[in-house]
Structures are given as C-alpha cells and as structure tokens.
Structure 1
Amino acid sequence: MDANDHKKQNIAQFTTAYTARPKQTGNLKIIEDEKDEGDEKCVICLSAFENPVELNDCKHVFCRECITGVFGVKPCCPVCGTVYGNVYGDQPREGIADIYIDDEALPGYDGKKTWVISYDFPSRIQEDFHPQPGKRYEGMKRRAFLPYNNEGTDVFQLLKRAFQQGLTFTIGTSRTTDKEGVITWNDIHHKTSRTGGPQKFGYPDPEYLSRVKEELASKGVTSTK
C-alpha cells in the first residue's frame, strides 16, 4: 500500500452523461383551437403566432418553430425563465472528473476532510455546437476543493450534475490570457486553491457554498431536481 493511501482516496470518476444534446419537446402543448390573439405577437420572432404552442408550467405561448429553436439552446422560457427539464451546455464531451476524499481539512473547516475534484480534458477538435467547429482546442487540467461536510457534499453532487450536463466548462476566450478557442470555466466558480481566501480562489470563504449554489441554480441545477 502506498504511504499516502490513508491521505487521499480515489472514490469515483464521472464523465459528461450525454452523447448528443437532448431536445426538450415534451413540455409543449399544441393549441388546437386558435383563439383570436388580437394584436399579440410571438415575443421571439415579433410576428403573428404561427402553429402556437403553450408551455406546460408557465403557460406562455410562442410559435412552435421559435420556441423549439430556443429550447435547442437552453430549455427555459424566454419570458419568465422557467426551466423545463435539464439544461445542457457545450462543454467538450471527452472530459473526465476524478473524485477524491482527502484527510487534510480546508481553512475554516477544521476537523473535516476535503472533497477534491480533478478535471481532465484531452486536446480535441471543436464540434458543430462550439464557436469554431473544426478548429483544434488544447486540453487542460483543473482541481477544485470542497469541504467534506453536509453542505459541501450537497454542492459536490450539484457540481457533478453540472459536469454531466456539460455546464461546467465551455470553449471561449480565456479571461486571464485573452487567448481564443480554449476551455474555460462557464460561470460556475470553483475553489482551485486550498488557501488564500477569495482573492486567491481559496479558503477561508464562508459565503462560497451559498454563492456557488446560486450560480448552479441559474443554470437549472438545484437540489430539488
């Protein structure tokens, strides 16, 4: 047995869970008897309704073609933001995330173990849903840390779902180097350092877990789904 086995234990590995971006079409109700809508127009195309459909929960009405196109990007009502089903992102599909439990506590969480998420993406070619299809992007590796307590474990499960739905990373312009066509974080902030506080993307940061849950919720990833 390796001398460090008691300190860091690899417990799981997961990948992006979809091979093609799923379509969200089960939340549309076709309006059979078209009512006189007067001067009302579809808020997407700004024209008179054509083949109108109603969203099941919020009851907003759109042209079928218009809302199907919107749902192909993000299954949210463009009027009120109600989320329908799972939101899927454009994260490269070949990445993996290794999960460890580390015996070393994070600052501010004395006596607790630590969740360690190790993200790893190989170099590949951008797909048709990326900004520059056919262009190569470089692989990258990142590590993130969470306290091994009840709230930290809840956030870990949400981050796992976000990764599996392709929401954690995207391909775009690096905020630190301005280089284009690279894998970047997708507005779900991670603690990539154990120490240094918020300024160094580390701990202690008492509000971090609450903030990241809000960021996840804005992408449709919540504890209730």
Structure 2
Amino acid sequence: MGSGQSSDKLHCNRYLKGQGPPSLVQQANAEVNGMHRRKGCQPEGQMTWVILHRDLPGFPDDNTLQINYIFPDGVQTEKHPHPGQPYAGLRLCAYLPDNRDGRKVLKLLEKAFNQQLLFTVTTNTKGEDTVTATSIPLKTQADAGNVVDGYPDSDYLRTVRKLLKDKGIE
C-alpha cells in the first residue's frame, strides 16, 4: 500500500459490517460448493416455462418447452452502458424439445439466467438502449425452417451446453 494506507482499507465494506475478508479456505470451499458464482449484467427480469403439447421440427416424439423471458422497461445501473438512462424491456419466447436433453438445457439456462448471464442492455442500431440476449443463442422460432433461431437444428442442444459450460454453467 504505497500511499500509506493500511491493508485494513481492503474489503472496507466487510470491515464496516464487522467482518473481515474471507479466508483462502472459505474462498476455496465456496468455489467447490458452487457458492462463488460469476454474475453478469442482466437487468431485472423473469423467466418462466410451460409445456406445449406439440412437437418441434426434428423432435417428432417430444412435446415442446416454451421459455418466456420478460424484462420490463427500466433504468440502467452502473453495470450497463449508460447508467441512469432508460432502456427498453423485452418479451421473448424460446423453445426446447421436452426430452431428457432439452430438460437438461432448461436447467442450465435457468442457472445462467439466475446468474444474470443470458441478457444484457446494449445500444441497438437505432441508438436506443434495449435488453438483448448475450452470446448464448436461443431458439425463438419453433417452425422457422433452417434459419439460425429456429428448428430443426440437431446440434443446438449440444452447442448450448458447450457455450454454457464455457461460462461456468454445468
């Protein structure tokens, strides 16, 4: 601490609350137990899902999981591009096959959502700040043919699992 400050200034919020910094053992145990999670910059929102009694192209024997993401309009925080400025919310439906692999991806997407890693606030091409998906692709078209955000796509579930694993979601 070259400026003459005591090392007690580190973790000052914890010291003010009567706590010291976590020990190395506590930090290691937290990581092993999954308590130390990376948080993203996703705004406040809601994720719900329902089962649709219809199949997706490429998954003729399975029902469909429809995931609903809802983000109301809001005001950006310090973790967004323009703190204090408004942003437009988002309503988005995504689809997964209702099978073993689809349910696994659903659980992983829930973890990523809870860790605020699926969405963020960005400035669109019109110069408006809005909620948008991050680098995890979501299938938002149930019957879109071979377009990027639709089915059929036999590699989608495997791709999403890998991308989520790269972000620490397993």
Band the TM-score falls in, shorter-chain normalisation: 0.7 to 0.9
How high is the sequence identity, in percent, across the aligned residues? Answer: 36
The residue aligned with 1:10 is: none
**Candidates 127, 130, 134, aligned match of 2:77:** 127
Q: In 2 relative to 1, CA 197–208 (structure 1 residues): closer, same or farther, beyond 3 Å?
A: farther
State TM-score, norm by structure 2.
0.77
CA RMSD of aligned residues (A): 2.3
Q: In 2 relative to 1, CA 114–27 (structure 1 residues): closer, same or farther, beyond 3 Å?
A: farther
Cα displacement string for residues 36-56 of structure 1 (whole angstroms, at most 9, x for unaligned residues): xxxxxxxxxxxxxxxxxxx85
How many equivalent residue pairs?
Answer: 146
Matched to 2:89, the amino acid is G
Question: By percentage of residues, which structure has more helix?
Answer: 2
Do structure 1's residue 102 and structure 2's residue 52 form an aligned pair?
yes
**Candidates 209, 216, 223, aligned match of 2:157:** 209
Q: In 2 relative to 1, CA 215–192 (structure 1 residues): closer, same or farther, beyond 3 Å?
A: same
2-structure distance, mates of 1:188, 1:198: 18
Question: Which segments of 5 or more consecutive residues in structure 2 lack a partner in the other structure?
Answer: 1-20
**Candidates 58, 70, 86, aligned match of 2:37:** 86
Question: Which segments of 5 or more consecutive residues in structure 1 lack a partner in the other structure?
Answer: 1-24, 30-54, 58-74, 76-82
Q: In 2 relative to 1, CA 171–198 (structure 1 residues): closer, same or farther, beyond 3 Å?
A: farther
State TM-score, norm by structure 1.
0.59
CA positional deviation for 1:132:
1.1
Cα contact 1:107–1:203 (8 A) shared by 2 = yes
1-structure distance, mates of 2:35, 2:90: 32
2-structure distance, mates of 1:148, 1:205: 15
Cα contact 1:193–1:200 (8 A) shared by 2 = no
